[in-house]
C-alpha cells in the first residue's frame, strides 16, 4: 500500500546577512518535535527578508518546498510566494506589521493569517521609552557638543531649558494594541500620564488615564508632551501625522515613531523640525529604508534616528517559537489561533 503523503510545514526564516532574523536550529528542532508523525518540516535555506513584507521570489527550492505545503512560516508572504501553492491553510509572519502581505488574493482567501504581535512588544516599548529619555535629558544637545568637542553645558542647564522629567508628563500613544500597551505600562511605571487612542475604545486599561477614539486624535496631539506611534500601517493610517497634525502639537512635544514610516509625512516633519515648531522626533522607521543619504533628516540636530531596530532582542526567538508552537497545538486541535490578522482591517 502506498503511504499517504505527509502534511507539510514550511519554515522560510533563513538569513546569512542578518543572523538575528535566522531561526536558530534549536528552535526549528522544537517545532519539528511538536509536529505529529504524519507531518514533515521543510526548512528553506535561501535568503529570507526580515523586513516583514517579504522579498518577491520564485526559486526552484522555494517552489519545491511549497508544493503541497499546508503551513507557511516566514516574514510576511509576498504574492509570488502565496501563489506557489493552493493548499496553504495557515500563514504565520514573524513580523507584527503585515500590510505588504494583504494583497487581494490573501484578503479574499480563507487562509488563516497570524502575525507576531507581542513578541516584539518589550524591545519596541523599551526603544520608544529610550527615545523619550533622549529628549527629556537633552541628549541631543549633548550630542551636538560631542561632535564639536565642546563642553555644551550651558544650553542644557539653562532656565528654562530643554531638560524635562518624564514624571507627570503626558504620553499620547496612538494605537493601543499589544505594543502600545507595553509602552503604556512602562510609561505609567515611570510616573507618566498615559493617554491612548484605540480604534474601538470599548474597554478600560488600569494604566490609561484617558482613552480616546480616532476622531479625537487632535485632542491627544494638543495635550501630549510625547506622541508615540504604535498603530498599524493601513490605508486609513497612511500619512496620519501630516502638517496639520504636527501644527496641533505642543511646541515642546516630541514625536516617536516605532511603527511604520508611512504613518508620517516626512516632508512636513522635516519642516516642523527645522522651524522648531516641535521639540524633536525619535524615528526608528522611515518611508524609504534604508534611509537615503540624501534625506534631510540626517542634517537635523533635533532628531534621534535608528535603523529600524526597535524590535531587536536576544529573546525574540524564544518568544516567537513559543507562539508558533502554541498556535500549532491549537491548529491541530482546530481551536482558534492567537494573533489572527483581520485581513480586511489590515492588522
Positions annotated as catalytic residues are 260, 289, 308
Q: And the C-alpha cell for 195? A: 493617554
What HEC string does 206-260 produce?
Answer: CCCCEEECHHHHHHHHHHCCEEEECCCCCCCCCCCECHHHHHCCCCCCEEEECCC
- Asked whether the beta carbons of 201 and 267 are under 8 A apart, the reply is no
Q: How many helices (H) does the chain have, and how many strands (E)?
A: 12, 12
- CA 151 remoteness from chain centre: 37
Long-range interactions of 201-205: CB distance < 8 A, separation 24+: 205/176, 205/181
Q: And the C-alpha cell for 177? A: 494594541
The contacts of residue 88 (CB under 8 Å, 6+ apart) are 66, 69, 70, 71, 72, 82, 111
Question: Counting beta carbons within 10 angstroms of the beta carbon of residue 336, is it exposed (0 to 12), middle (13 to 18) or buried (19 or more)?
Answer: exposed
CA neighbours closer than 13 Å in the CB half-sphere of residue 260: 22
Question: Counting beta carbons within 10 angstroms of the beta carbon of residue 33, is it exposed (0 to 12), middle (13 to 18) or buried (19 or more)?
Answer: exposed
Question: Using CA atoms, how far apart are residues 67 and 230, in angstroms rounded to an integer?
Answer: 37
Strand 193-197 with 170-174, pairing:
parallel
Backbone angles phi and psi of 339, in degrees to 5: 60, 35
Question: Using CA atoms, how far apart are residues 175 and 197, in angstroms rounded to an integer?
Answer: 6
Amino acid at each position: 500500500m502506498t503511504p499517504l503523503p505527509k502534511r507539510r510545514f514550511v519554515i522560510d526564516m533563513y538569513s546569512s546577512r542578518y543572523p538575528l532574523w535566522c531561526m536558530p536550529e534549536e528552535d526549528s528542532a522544537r517545532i519539528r518535535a511538536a509536529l505529529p508523525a504524519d507531518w514533515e518540516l521543510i526548512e528553506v535555506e535561501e535568503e529570507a527578508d526580515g523586513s516583514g513584507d517579504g522579498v518577491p521570489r520564485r526559486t526552484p527550492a522555494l517552489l519545491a518546498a511549497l508544493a503541497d505545503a499546508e503551513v507557511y512560516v516566514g516574514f510576511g508572504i509576498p504574492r509570488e510566494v502565496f501563489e506557489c501553492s493552493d493548499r496553504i491553510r495557515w500563514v504565520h509572519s514573524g513580523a507584527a506589521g503585515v500590510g505588504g502581505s494583504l494583497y487581494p488574493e490573501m484578503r479574499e482567501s480563507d487562509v488563516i493569517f497570524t502575525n507576531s504581535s507581542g513578541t516584539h512588544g518589550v524591545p519596541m516599548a523599551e526603544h520608544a521609552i529610550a527615545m523619550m529619555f533622549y529628549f527629556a535629558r537633552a541628549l541631543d544637545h549633548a550630542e551636538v557638543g560631542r561632535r564639536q568637542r565642546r563642553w555644551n553645558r550651558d544650553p542644557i542647564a539653562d532656565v528654562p531649558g530643554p531638560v524635562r522629567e518624564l514624571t507627570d508628563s503626558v504620553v499620547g500613544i496612538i494605537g493601543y494594541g499589544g505594543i502600545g500597551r507595553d509602552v503604556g505600562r512602562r510609561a505609567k511605571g515611570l510616573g507618566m500620564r498615559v493617554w491612548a487612542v484605540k480604534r474601538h475604545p470599548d474597554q478600560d486599561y488600569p494604566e490609561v488615564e484617558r482613552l480616546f477614539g480616532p476622531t479625537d486624535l487632535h485632542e491627544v496631539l494638543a495635550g501630549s508632551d510625547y506622541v508615540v506611534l504604535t498603530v498599524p500601517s493601513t490605508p486609513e493610517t497612511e500619512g496620519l501625522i501630516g502638517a496639520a497634525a504636527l501644527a496641533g502639537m505642543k511646541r515642546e512635544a516630541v514625536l516617536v515613531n516605532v511603527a511604520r514610516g508611512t504613518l508620517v509625512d516626512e516632508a512636513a516633519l522635516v519642516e516642523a523640525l527645522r522651524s522648531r515648531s516641535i521639540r524633536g522626533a525619535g524615528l526608528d522607521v522611515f518611508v524609504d529604508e534604508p534611509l537615503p543619504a540624501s534625506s534631510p533628516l540626517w542634517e537635523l540636530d533635533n532628531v534621534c534616528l535608528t535603523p529600524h531596530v526597535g524590535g531587536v532582542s536576544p529573546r525574540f526567538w524564544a518568544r516567537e517559537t513559543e507562539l508558533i508552537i502554541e498556535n500549532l497545538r491549537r491548529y491541530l486541535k482546530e481551536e482558534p489561533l492567537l494573533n489572527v490578522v483581520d485581513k480586511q482591517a489590515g492588522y
